[in-house]
Structure 1
Amino acid sequence: MSKENPEIGLEIDAGGINTNYHDAGQGSGTPLLLLHGSGPGVTAWANWRLNIQVLAQVRRVVAPDMVGFGYTERPKGIQYNLDTWVKHGIDFLDALGIEQADVVGNSYGGALALAMAIRYPHRVRRLVLMGAAGVQFELTPGLDEVWGYTPSVEGMRRLMDSFAYDKALISNELAELRYGASIRPGYQEAFSQMFPAPRQRWVDALASPEADIRAIDKETLILHGREDRIVPPVTSKRLFELIERAQLHMFGRCGHWTQIEHAARFNELVNDFLSE
C-alpha cells in the first residue's frame, strides 16, 4: 500500500491486465475476494476500507480494482461488459494461485459475484451479495445519475448524498477526494464508455438468467439497505426467492453503503457467515 495514497496497493498481471489490489491477512480458511461497486472514482480501497482489516483477522482477503476502475490498467480497445469483468476476476484468482474463494460483491460487484458463481461454480465456495445488481429491475433515478456522472465537485457531492442514508457521513472533503479520483487521466473516458444512455440496457446486461440463479447451490448471504436509492431492495428480495440456500438481512436507516453505514454489523455478519 502506498503511504501517499492508500488506494494504491500491490500490482499483479491478471490475464494480461496490470491489476491494482489489496492483500491482507493469512489464516488457513478459504480466501475472500471483495468486488467493489461501479460509482465514479471508486476503488477497492474506497469501497472496502472499513472492512478489509477486520475480515482479514481470520482469513486472507484480496480486493482488486476491476478493469476500468481505480488504479488498474485500462487496455486500449477493451470492451467493458460482464464477460470481460468475470474473466478479469477469474484471471485475478488464477494469478494469485487461489483455486476457490468466498466472494463478496457490492452492487455491480454483486452482479459479477453472481455470474462467477454461475459460470465457474468450482471457484466459489460461499456468496455474499450486498445491494447487488444481477437481476432485472427498473433503472432508478439514482443509478441513472451515478452512471451518467460528468465530473464536478457539486455533482460528486450530490451523488454521494444519494448513496448514504445518513448525510453526516458525507463531508465536502470526501466529495472532493472522490471527485479528484474521478478525473485521473483516462478514468472518465473509460467510465463514460461503460454505461452510456439509455442506461436500462446496462442494468439488463448485468443480469444473469433467473434459471441460472435458481440453480446456484452455494450458501448465500444477501444484505441490503432498506432506504437504498441506487439499487432497489426488491432486487435482494428476488435473489432471496431464487437462491435456495440463501438468507436475507435488511438494514433499516441504511442506503446503498451497508459496508460503510453499518460497518461493524456488516463485518460481524459476514465473519459469522463465512466461519460457519
Structure 2
Amino acid sequence: MTASTTTTGAEELGAPPGRLVPAGDHQLFVSEVGEGGRPTVFLHGGGPGCTSWTDFGVAIPYFDDRRCVLVDMLNYGYSSAVEYPPAKWAFHAKHVAAALENLGIENADFVCNSQGGSVALVLAAEYSHLVRKVVLSGSEPMHRGRGGRTPELAALTAQLVAGFTTGEGPTREKIREIMVKLEYWDPAAVNETTLDLRWHYLQQPGPASTWGRGIHAGDPEDLEPLLAEVKRRVLVLWGRYDVFATPAYALSIADAVPYGDVFLMDQGGHHMEEERPQDFAAIVKTWLDLPADTNQ
C-alpha cells in the first residue's frame, strides 16, 4: 500500500487525521480511530458537505472497542473528484472495495447512513469477503416505495435541494436549513462544529463539483434485483421521523434481503447517529456482537 499521510484543515475543527488511499484510478480519504477490535467501516450519507466524520463523529467515542475506519466516498471530503456513471452505487462500491483491499481490511462490519447503506449492500452482494454485517439507516436502495414520508415533505426536499445552488449559491446557512428541515428531528441537535466542518468540506473539489453544481445525486440504479444476493445479515435502523421515506420502506428493505432485521428508533430523523449517538451506538453494537452466521 502506498497511502500517504495528509494534513487537512478539517483537523483544526476536530476531525481526525487521515490519508489518501489508492482506490483504482482514484483516491479515497480514510481516517482511523482506535487500533484494536474488529474493523468497522463507516460510510456517510449524501448531504452537502457530508463525510463519515461529520455523520458519525459524535458517535465514534462509543465504538472505542473497535477499529473505526471512516471512509469518504468519491466526490466527498478530500477524496477524488470524478464524474459519476449511471450505476452510481456500484461505482462507489468498486472504489470502496479497492481502498479496503489496499488497507488489508476484510470481514468488516459496516455502519452506514443513507447512500452509504446502498453502497454497503452492493459490497455485501458483490465483494462479500469484505463484509461481515451491515447496519444501514435512511438508505433508499430500491426505487419501489421510496419517496418522502409525506407529499409535503417530498415537496420541501425538492425545494431545498433545488434552491441550494440558486440565488447566491451554496452557503453555510443553506446547509443548516437542510440539516434542520430534512436531516434532524430535533433542530437543537444541530452542532455548530459539524456545520463548520460541512461548510469546509463543501469547498473541496469533489463536493464543489457535485453539490456545488446541483448534481450530487442524480437517479442511482435500482438495487432491488441485487438485494437477494446479499448473503450477510442486515440491520435496517430507521428513524421514526425520517423525512425521506416511511418506516414501511424500511420493512421493504428487510423483506428484500435474505437476512434482514428492523429497528424503529423514536425521537430521530435521518441522522439518528448525530441526534442520539449513545443510544444509536448501543443498539448497533449489541446487534453487531450477535453471531453473524446466517443459519442462526
TM-score by length of 1: 0.85
- For residues 70-89 of structure 1, the aligned pairs below 5 Å read 70-75=77-82, 79=85, 81-89=88-96
Q: Tell me the SS of whatever aligns to 1:4.
A: helix
Which secondary structure does the structure 2 equivalent of 1:248 belong to? strand
- 1:134 matched residue in structure 2: 141
Query: Is the counterpart of residue 107 in structure 1 residue 107 in structure 2?
Result: no
Contact 1:19–1:64, Cα closer than 8 Å, also in 2: yes
Bigger drift between 186-195 and 225-234 goes to 186-195
**1:207 corresponding residue in structure 2:** 222
Partner-residue secondary structure (3-state), 2:141: coil
Indicate whether 1:152 and 2:160 are aligned: no
Deviation by residue 1:138-171 (Cα, 9 ceiling, x = unmatched): 3633553565432023322221112111111126
Tell me: CA distance 1:67–1:270, structure 2 relative to 1, closer, same or farther (3 Å).
same
8 A contact 2:80–2:206 mirrored in 1: no
CA distance in 2, matches of 1:164, 1:38: 14
Secondary structure of the equivalent of 1:68? coil
User: Is 1:255 aligned with 2:269?
Assistant: yes
* Counterparts of residues 1-276 of structure 1 (less than 5 Å): 3-7=11-15, 9-11=17-19, 12-29=21-38, 31-55=39-63, 57-75=64-82, 79=85, 81-136=88-143, 137-138=146-147, 140-141=154-155, 143-145=157-159, 147-148=161-162, 149-150=164-165, 151-162=170-181, 163-170=183-190, 175=195, 177-185=197-205, 187-191=207-211, 192=213, 194-195=215-216, 202=219, 205-209=220-224, 211-276=225-290
Change (3 A) 1:64 1:161: same
Distance in 1 (CA, whole Å) between partners of 2:23 and 2:14 is 21
Measured after TM superposition, the shift of residue 195 of structure 1 is 4.0
1:247 aligns to what SS in structure 2?
strand
Residues 238 and 250 in structure 2, CA contact (< 8 A), matched pair in contact too: yes
Tell me: CA distance 1:5–1:13, structure 2 relative to 1, closer, same or farther (3 Å): farther
Alpha-carbon distance change, 259 to 118 in structure 1, aligned in 2, over 3 angstroms: same
Structure 1 residue 193 displacement after superposition:
6.2
Separation in structure 2 between the aligned mates of residue 235 and residue 246 of structure 1, nearest angstrom: 13
**Is the Cα–Cα contact under 8 Å of residues 214 and 242 in structure 1 kept in the other structure?**
yes
> Bigger CA drift: 116-125 or 36-45?
116-125
* Percent identical residues: 26
The aligned length equals: 266
Equivalent pair of 1:142/1:230 in contact (CA under 8 Å): no
Deviations 1:31-58, CA, capped at 9 Å, x for gaps: 1111100000111210110222321x22
Q: Indicate conservation of the 8 Å contact 1:68/1:187, yes or no.
A: yes
Listed as ranges, the gaps of 5+ residues in structure 1 are: none
Root-mean-square deviation (Å): 2.5
Instruction: Kindly provide the CA deviation profile for residues 111-153 of structure 1, in whole angstroms up to 9, marking residues without a partner as x.
Output: 1011111122232111111111211213633553565432023
Asked if the contact 1:132/1:235 (under 8 Å) is kept, the reply is no
TM-score by length of 2: 0.80
Q: Which moved more, 1:220-229 or 1:232-241?
A: 232-241
What whole-Å deviation, never above 9, does each CA across 1:216-254 have from its counterpart, x for those lacking one? 232221101111113433321111222342221111221
User: How many Å separate the matches in 1 of 2:138 and 2:56?
Assistant: 14
Deviation at 1:92, TM superposition (A): 1.2
